[in-house]
Amino acid sequence: MASPRPLILVAALAVGALAGAPAVALAASGTPGQAPAQVNVAHQAAIRALQAFEARASARFRPHAVPAAAARRSLAGTARGRSLSPVTHVGSISRDTLPALSREIEPDTQVEPDVAIDPGDPRIITAVFQQGRNGPFGASADPGYATSQDGGRTWADGNFPLLTTVVGGPLQLASDPVVAFGPDGSDYIQTIALNETNPRSTVTVQRSTDGGISFGRPSLVTDDNNINIFNDKNWLAVDTSKRSPFYGRLYSVWARFITTGTGQNAVTHSPGALSFSDDQGKTWSPIHFMTPLSDDDQGFLPLIHQDGSVTVVYDHFVPNPKNPNQGADFETAQTSRDGGLTWSKPVTIGQFLGSEVPGMRSGMLPAAAIDPVTGTMYAVWQDTRFNPGGLNDIVLSVSADGGARWSAPQVVSPKVAGLDRFTPAVAADAGAVYISYRTRGANGTAPAVSENYIASTDGGKTFGFEFQVGPPSVLRWAAVSDEVPPPVAFLGDYMGLAAAPGKAELVWCLSSKPPVTGRYHQTAWGATVTP
């Protein structure tokens, strides 16, 4: 890892602000002689929304009847293919070595990875992850990255430079790291970076011009300092199609929690926000909202078509008028054909009927991918509807017409009694579709969690055998999320998966017994797979 500087102050998950709105200091814990920390109202509302989401999902963790018409056979294992594992280059690619000078920080923890492959040179791969998880508040001391220049055989790693105080930056914490490559080989890493002791909340991007070996200073997509705004769950994509009128454009999307009113009259919604850059991330457009300001949306994922159209896939919550915390969640898609300025009406992909995993935080948001060759889009999520035991299967929905219509969700994970599957990822290239996910036995209560993988060679019509990748994670040593008590094991709200011609790269976080001493030991792992 890059040489860290002393940790001055650590804390927080993504917190934010509305430009021009007053910042109000509220009483909070603090040390004598210091100004009290400000409470971010929108951030608190986001935590309550997460708590309600997890409560809705946990209620589905129960046996239930599955109609005969819905008890379809899993698509997995139906394709012809080899039974020998197509997995290579399996191993740890990085370890968190940043200091933890606050008792809130969980040392030696890497959490929530993403990965991307350079479309111009598939030997170059970059993975990103949180490091030094802040259990009670969320986010991490400073995200890290690992880059391979030989197709995943060997890796070099480092910290996001000059981002958080632990590495000489201005912000206390950062979270939700993602990575994407541009058509010229530029490597972009993105986070939400924020403070705990005041409501500053940002979305940041850093660029590498040497294939992910080193990265420059952060540029700010948005920089807010107001208790009524909280920027959360960002994602980044780059238009690499030479047919596109927006060739080279970077798209940053996120959920923007906005609180209006005060006290008992306060109301918070989370519409989808978008900003784009046409100068390699140096400057960013004003915010464009993809969804109405009255929406409650989360987990936006931008998918870019060859003609430059952009489809976003996300979770849309429809509240129950009689109880706003109750209602239904729907995986949803919208498309822009003018570079993100205007958006089509939302299209429902399918209802989210997943369950939370006992004693864990699994994310439960959709994952999505577009095949750059065929243009077919794939959305996956964890779902209990076809599982009579109330456990999660992984379901898949497909769109072959630019997002106007989506197929009914079908189970792609093999049917195995007592096995819970969750936190899926999906990637596709030239008709090959790769899906990875976590598994936990004993009806979702086993002490260990595995990383599994299946693939299709016919555009998702059928899938081959299921493979376990690497050793299992022992949850005793896992990072902990405590934003929504009680404390639960946390491997990440998402895992990393990227495809290139003839292969894909998996990145996940694995917890195991510390090599010497310590409470935590959770490292980033990688593997190369073929369909």
> Binning pLDDT at 50, 70 and 90, where does residue 72 land?
low
Angle at alpha carbon of residue 518, lines to 515 and 520, rounded to 5°: 90
**29 in helix, strand or coil?**
coil
For residue 333, what is the enclosing H or E element? Answer: strand 323-336
User: pLDDT of 474-524, one tens digit each?
Assistant: 999 999 999 888 999 999 999 999 999 999 999 999 999 999 999 999 999
* Look-up of token digits 């090959």: 432
Which residues are within 8 A (CB) of 7 and not within 5 positions of it... i.e. 6 or more apart? Answer: 98, 99, 100, 101, 102, 105, 141, 165, 166
For strands 360-361 and 488-490, give the pairing: parallel
User: pLDDT of 387-398, one tens digit each?
Assistant: 999 999 999 999
CB-hemisphere CA count at 13 Å for 69? 1
Which residues are within 8 A (CB) of 117 and not within 5 positions of it... i.e. 6 or more apart? Answer: 124, 125, 181, 498, 499, 500, 505
Using left for φ > 0, alpha for ψ between -120 and 50, and beta otherwise, residue 403 falls in left
Angle at alpha carbon of residue 365, lines to 286 and 495, rounded to 5°: 95
Which residues are within 8 A (CB) of 38 and not within 5 positions of it... i.e. 6 or more apart? Answer: 23, 24, 25, 26, 28, 197, 198, 199, 227
User: pLDDT of 346-372, one tens digit each?
Assistant: 999 999 999 999 999 999 999 999 999
> Binning pLDDT at 50, 70 and 90, where does residue 35 land?
low
User: Rounded to whole angstroms, how far apart are CA atoms 156 and 207?
Assistant: 17
Contact 305, 402 (CB under 8 A): yes
User: pLDDT of 274-284, one tens digit each?
Assistant: 999 999 999 99
Neighbour order of strands in the sheet with 347-352: 297-304, 310-320, 323-336, 347-352
User: pLDDT of 406-444, one tens digit each?
Assistant: 999 999 999 899 999 999 999 999 999 999 999 999 999
Residue type at position 37:
A
> Binning pLDDT at 50, 70 and 90, where does residue 104 land?
very high
> Binning pLDDT at 50, 70 and 90, where does residue 27 land?
very low
User: Rounded to whole angstroms, how far apart are CA atoms 135 and 123?
Assistant: 35
Structure tokens given for 423:
């936190």
**148 in helix, strand or coil?**
strand
Q: What is the mean pLDDT of residues 235-254?
A: 98
> Binning pLDDT at 50, 70 and 90, where does residue 36 land?
low
User: Rounded to whole angstroms, how far apart are CA atoms 255 and 9?
Assistant: 26
pLDDT over 70 (residue 45): yes
- Model pLDDT, residue 18: 28
Q: Is the dihedral of CA 92, 487, 46, 202 positive or negative?
A: negative
User: In this structure, what DSSP letter does residue 323 have?
Assistant: E
Angle at alpha carbon of residue 516, lines to 515 and 519, rounded to 5°: 90
- Beta strands of 248-366 (E only): which ranges? 250-260, 267-269, 272-277, 288-289, 297-304, 310-320, 323-336, 347-352, 360-361
pTM of the model: 0.92
- Identify which of 339, 360, 506 has the alpha carbon closest to the alpha carbon of residue 445: 360
- Identify which of 196, 218, 166 has the alpha carbon closest to the alpha carbon of residue 2: 166
> Binning pLDDT at 50, 70 and 90, where does residue 209 land?
very high
Q: Domains (ranges, CATH) in the chain? A: 70-78+105-529 (2.120.10.10)
